[in-house]
Amino acid sequence: MKKSEFLLKVRENNAIVLSIGLVLVLAGTLSALVLNNTVWWNYLLIGVGLIVLGLFLFSNLTEIKEVGKKRTTITRANITLVAVAMLGIVIALNYIVSRHPLRIDLTSNKFYTLSDQTLDTLNHLQQDVNVSLFTSPSHAAQMQTQIQRAQQLLEEYGKKSTKFHFKVVNVDNDPAEARRYGIHEYNTIVFESGDNRKDVLQRDYISYSMMGRQPMPKFQGEAAFTSALITMSDTTHLVFYFTEGHGEKPLVNPQPDGYTTFKDMLEKENYTDKTLNLLKDNKIPDDAAGIVVLGPVKAFQPSETALLEAYLKNGGKVMLCFDLMDPISRQTIVSTGLSALLKDFGVKVDNDLAIDDTSYLPPNPSAILPQYGNHDIVQKLSDNHVPCLMVFNREIEKVDPLMKGANSTVLLQTTDKGWGVNNVKALKGAVSYHPGIDVKGPIPIAVASEFDLTDGSNKKARLVVYGNSLFFSNQFATTLGNADLALNTFGWMAEQENKISIHPKEEDERILNISNVSNMLIICVAIILIPLAALIAGFVVWFRRRSI
């Protein structure tokens, strides 16, 4: 086909050719704007469309020149050019605003503005931080507003730093991703950076306050998220040593009485666990952030006690979990070998079994839902009304410390209706309180003690003693607030309980009270006067034009 014949064919189908060219160009441009990304097929669509439009112009070049010489054509072309220019300006401005949004927080308390501490943390990020919110729309109906606020807040973090990357994972649509991350609760937010990981649970960023008889959710996401963000820059992983040689329960045991679940939780908190045999090694490593003793069945030797005493009194941290009974021999564990050391810090281990038939998990009254004391370890659990389950607890008594300056506090205890059973072997069937024989409640089952060193080093010795070692085992770690209780204990020993403090901003509710008279006045002005004024103005304009 000759060139002239081809151009004639194009002119015969001008409308079709012009439409195809415009559609291709618009499709390529709009798809790039919508997707906020340009790929090869965007360029292909725009390129082919421009070629088709160029072919249309070239085939109609003579007609265009003739039409362009007419005055009306020039006027219409100028108007068209102005319209196209205005449209281009509007599109360009919208594109710029979408890429660089400008938002102004007009709330009186700057409710939607990040704190200076958060902005400073974001500006000093050394490496990329990946954050994933694992949620389920089908399980978040009651907390949908709060979860959306968490999502919007994390998106705001991403706008302030190019190193902060946030995504939402729908657990219903992608359960494999949740399993890969080991997610146990809905609405968990995972922070990752290099080898560091921090899981922020829903209860960490949504607490509850009592409004009358109804608990109301209270959002405190910025404090929780920025605290997790700070841990991402922590390159030193604290090491906790777990003792062995006294029949303690090992961490690497997948059985119900093992601790593999909690071991995984420790790693997610950027802690490292190692074993320690005090009798064999005869020293406590210099890198020990704390010593943990899980359910020993044999007493500590005097040389081991001396090591722990020297370590504690020089600012060390120790967590002791003493069971009442040897799981194999079923004999009561009478001696711990640490009685003198514990009394120095105001703690005494008794041989009573704590029972509470008013606050327990049926049908076992020794499976206690204890009351919380006033201490940093349990404060958040108490504030958020999250109970924990403590099974088969021995009494851990708070006594006057022999060491001056030590301060002991009860963490957990039964209600005043509980009691301590002296003769555990005699327990058969239903249990009841025997006055004069059993110990009247409340029975303490966990005590924490602290001692400030007087050598000017600002070091603190910290000791926590629990009356059982099963509450964060594989069987109970994911029960109620047990894992939080254990992790809070490790955090308190590591002196990381108050790593950041950002006071949550309260929603500023302002109510406008309108009287009946004011309400009627607003209705008259909005519904009657304004429409009537517009109608009269229109009538006057019409009448004047008619009389001209």
* CATH number of residue 328's parent domain: 3.40.50.880
Domain boundary at 197, 224, 251, which?
224
Stretch (H or E) spanning 238? strand 238-243
Report how far Cα 219 is from the mean position of its chain's Cα atoms. Answer: 11
* Residues 144, 26 share a domain: no
Q: pTM for the complete prediction?
A: 0.62
Domain final residue pick, 224, 246, 269: 224
Q: Which two tokens stand for residue 82?
A: 């102005």
List, for residues 251-305, the tens digit of each pLDDT value.
Answer: 888 888 889 988 888 887 778 899 999 999 999 999 999 999 999 999 999 999 9
Neighbours of 294 (CB within 10 A): 24
- Regarding whether 216 and 265 lie in a shared domain, the answer is no
Domain assignment of residue 477, yes or no: yes
Strands 390-391 and 406-413: unpaired
Is the same domain home to 161 and 280? Answer: no
User: What Å distances lie between residue 115 and 112, 118, 150, 501, CA to CA?
Assistant: 9, 5, 15, 11
What contacts 24+ positions apart, CB below 8 Å, involve 422-428? 422/351, 422/352, 424/324, 424/325, 424/332, 424/353, 425/332, 427/353
Rounded CA separation 65/431 (Å) = 107
* Separation CA 414–CA 444 (nearest Å): 6
* Residue 444 sits in the same domain as residue 323: yes
Rounded distance between C-alpha atoms, residue 31 and residue 414, angstroms: 65
Residues 195 and 253 occupy one common structural domain: no
Helix spans in 317-449 (H): 339-344, 376-383
Please, are residues 414 and 356 in contact by the beta-carbon 8 Å criterion? yes
Query: Is the same domain home to 429 and 280?
Result: yes
In a domain, 544, yes or no: yes
Tokens of 150: 């968490």
Q: Which residue in 336, 343, 352 sits closest to 248, CA to CA?
A: 336
Residue 189 maps to a domain: yes
What range does the domain containing 140 cover?
A: 117-224
C-alpha dihedral, 271 to 277 to 281 to 286, nearest 10°? 20
CA distance 38 to 200: 35
Predicted confidence pLDDT, tens digits, the chain (548 residues): 566 777 777 777 777 877 787 778 777 777 766 665 566 777 788 788 788 877 877 777 776 666 556 556 555 655 565 566 566 656 756 665 665 556 666 665 566 678 777 888 888 888 899 999 999 887 766 677 888 888 888 998 988 888 999 999 998 888 899 889 888 888 999 999 888 888 888 888 887 665 555 667 778 788 788 888 877 877 677 899 999 999 998 888 888 888 998 888 888 777 889 999 999 999 999 999 999 999 999 999 999 999 999 999 999 999 999 998 887 777 888 888 999 999 999 999 998 999 998 888 888 888 999 999 999 899 888 887 888 999 999 999 999 998 888 999 999 999 999 999 887 766 666 677 888 888 898 999 999 999 998 877 788 999 999 999 999 998 898 888 888 899 889 989 988 765 444 545 555 555 566 777 777 788 887 888 888 888 888 877 877 777 66
SS3 274: strand
CA angle 97, 99, 105 (to 5 degrees): 60
How many folded domains does the chain comprise? 4
**What are the tokens at 400?**
């006057």
CB 204 within 8 A of CB 269: no
Query: Does 431 share its domain with 519?
Result: no
Of 441, 446, 430, nearest to 356 (Cα)? 441
- The neighbour count for residue 277, using CB atoms within 10 Å, is 13
Residue 232 lies in a domain: no
Torsions phi, psi for 165 (to 5 deg):
-120, 120
Amino acid at 443: I
pLDDT of residue 501: 47
Residue 218 within any structural domain of the chain: yes
Contact between 147 and 112 under an 8 Å Cβ cutoff? The reply is: no
pLDDT for 500: 47
Phi and psi at 112, nearest 5°, equal -105, 20
Helix (H), strand (E), coil (C) string for 101-148: CCCCCCCCCCCCCCCHHHHHHHHCCCCCEEEEEEECHHHCCCCHHHHH
Q: Which amino acid is at 331?
A: Q
Question: Is position 504 within any domain?
Answer: no
Question: Pick from 169, 201, 224: which residue ends a domain?
Answer: 224
Dihedral sign (CA 147, 152, 155, 161): negative
Tell me, yes or no, whether 331 and 258 share the same domain: yes
Helix or strand (DSSP H, E) at 191: strand 188-193
108 found inside a domain: no
E strands, 443-547, in order: 444-452, 460-466
Say yes or no: 362 and 420 in one domain.
Answer: yes
Would you say residue 105 lies in a domain? Answer: no
- Together in a domain, 200 and 253: no
CATH number of 158's domain: 3.40.30.10
Do 269 and 126 share a structural domain?
no
- Please give the DSSP secondary-structure letter assigned to residue 248: P
Q: What is the mean pLDDT of the chain?
A: 81
CA distance 492 to 480: 20
Q: Compute the Cα dihedral for 230, 207, 479, 382 and give only its sign.
A: positive
Residues 305 and 443 in one domain: yes
State how far the Cα of 465 lies from the Cα of 469, in Å rounded to an integer. Answer: 10
